[in-house]
């Protein structure tokens, strides 16, 4: 039997984690012969509820689940962690301005970044799901001495999958027939789901669907999908968000297929004119656990405007929290 690997999850008592933990423990992330340890992090008041979740994990008698630990201390949770899912974030409270929310979360992620840096695992993979995910991830990265931009990502996989699912439905094909969709920018309604390079069974997507549908239906639909799910379910996306986190981490470990890429928010290196350092969703390819931003894609004027709009949004977020960057 292999040595166990350790997965740390923050916000472990929340709804997304409830959809994530049982899939992680079953071996879906690391395969059927890899034992795992779960380090579950929560704020102190949520620990009793989290104990109920731990009971249920025990009640699954998972053959691969070597140990579950719950804690309200980030250092205990992240020590020895190989893969970290930062799911927890402060939600917007009544009367809270957007700027207050950004700052409150930035302080949490500053601390978590510092702790991750101190833990000193140079190969740790940290995926930020808690919103505002991109800026939270930037804060964590910039406060984690010894770690690099290769250690951090913010999730745009949910947006990517939403775009793939919607295009597949429109074209009446299964999702695996869709390739090279891109979601650019921020994980917010300011994101830009782009079909210029997408293919449907090998054909250019924009020769299969018409421009009107792309610009007047698809883009807004993907951008506002979260609100649509809330309206139907009465609750925000949890299972699909957890699925995206699992798939992103899986792909980060196993790599992208040769004929496709994924959308992943990573620290900009200036590619496509995006300000260096912003966590921005790009098309990336992954080999041996390292991502590379796909280079050389043509960007139409239409796309350029959308990229810049999302960049401006992230710059505004940056202004609100830059006092917390080291």
Question: What are the residue numbers of the active site?
Answer: 187
Complex with a second copy: residue 58 or 295, whichever CB lies closer: 58
User: Residue 67 Cβ, how far from a second copy at the closest point, in Å?
Assistant: 9
User: Residue 238 Cβ, how far from a second copy at the closest point, in Å?
Assistant: 8
Q: Is residue 291 within 8 Å of 285, Cβ to Cβ?
A: yes
Chain center to CA of 22: 18
Complex with a second copy: residue 158 or 294, whichever CB lies closer: 158
Q: Which residue has the tokens 């040769």?
A: 258
Handedness of CA 206, 211, 215, 217 (dihedral sign): negative
Handedness of CA 276, 279, 281, 287 (dihedral sign): positive
User: Residue 160 Cβ, how far from a second copy at the closest point, in Å?
Assistant: 8
Complex with a second copy: residue 116 or 241, whichever CB lies closer: 241
Residues at the interface with a second copy (CB under 8 A)? 18-19, 21-23, 26, 28, 35, 48-49, 51-53, 55-63, 65-66, 158, 160-162, 164-166, 168-169, 174-176, 178, 225, 228-229, 231-234, 237-240, 242-244, 247
User: Residue 164 Cβ, how far from a second copy at the closest point, in Å?
Assistant: 4
Q: Is residue 263 within 8 Å of 159, Cβ to Cβ?
A: yes
Structure tokens at 252: 């980060």
Complex with a second copy: residue 61 or 94, whichever CB lies closer: 61
Provide the b/e sequence for 254-266 (b: ≥16 CB within 10 Å). Answer: eebeeeebbbbbb
């Amino acid at each position: 039997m292999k040595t166990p690997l350790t997965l740390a999850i923050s916000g472990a008592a929340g709804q997304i984690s409830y959809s994530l933990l049982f899939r992680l423990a079953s071996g879906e992330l690391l395969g059927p012969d890899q034992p795992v340890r779960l380090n579950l992090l929560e704020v102190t008041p949520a620990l009793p509820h989290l104990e109920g979740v731990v009971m249920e994990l025990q009640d699954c008698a998972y053959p691969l689940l070597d140990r579950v630990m719950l804690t309200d201390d980030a250092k205990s949770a992240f020590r020895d962690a190989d893969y970290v899912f930062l799911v927890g974030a402060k939600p917007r409270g009544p009367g809270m301005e957007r700027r207050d929310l950004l700052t409150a979360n930035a302080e949490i992620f500053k601390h978590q970044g510092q702790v991750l840096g101190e833990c000193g695992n140079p190969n740790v993979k940290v995926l930020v799901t808690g919103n505002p995910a991109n800026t939270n991830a930037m804060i964590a990265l910039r406060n984690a001495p010894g770690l690099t931009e290769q250690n951090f990502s913010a999730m745009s996989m949910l947006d990517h999958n939403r775009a793939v699912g919607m295009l597949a439905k429109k074209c009446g094909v299964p999702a695996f027939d869709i390739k090279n969709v891109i979601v650019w920018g921020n994980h917010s309604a300011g994101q830009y789901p782009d079909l210029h390079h997408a293919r449907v069974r090998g054909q250019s997507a924009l020769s299969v669907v018409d421009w009107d549908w792309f610009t007047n239906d698809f883009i807004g639909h993907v951008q506002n999908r979260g609100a649509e799910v809330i309206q139907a379910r009465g609750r925000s996306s949890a299972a699909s968000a957890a699925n995206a986190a699992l798939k992103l981490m899986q792909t980060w470990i196993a790599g992208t297929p040769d004929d496709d890429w994924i959308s992943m928010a990573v620290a900009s290196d200036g590619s496509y004119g995006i300000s260096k350092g912003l966590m921005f969703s790009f098309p990336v390819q992954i080999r041996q656990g390292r991502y590379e931003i796909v280079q050389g894609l043509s960007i139409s004027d239409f796309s350029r405007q959308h990229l810049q709009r999302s960049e401006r949004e992230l710059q505004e977020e940056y202004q609100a929290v830059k006092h917390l960057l080291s």
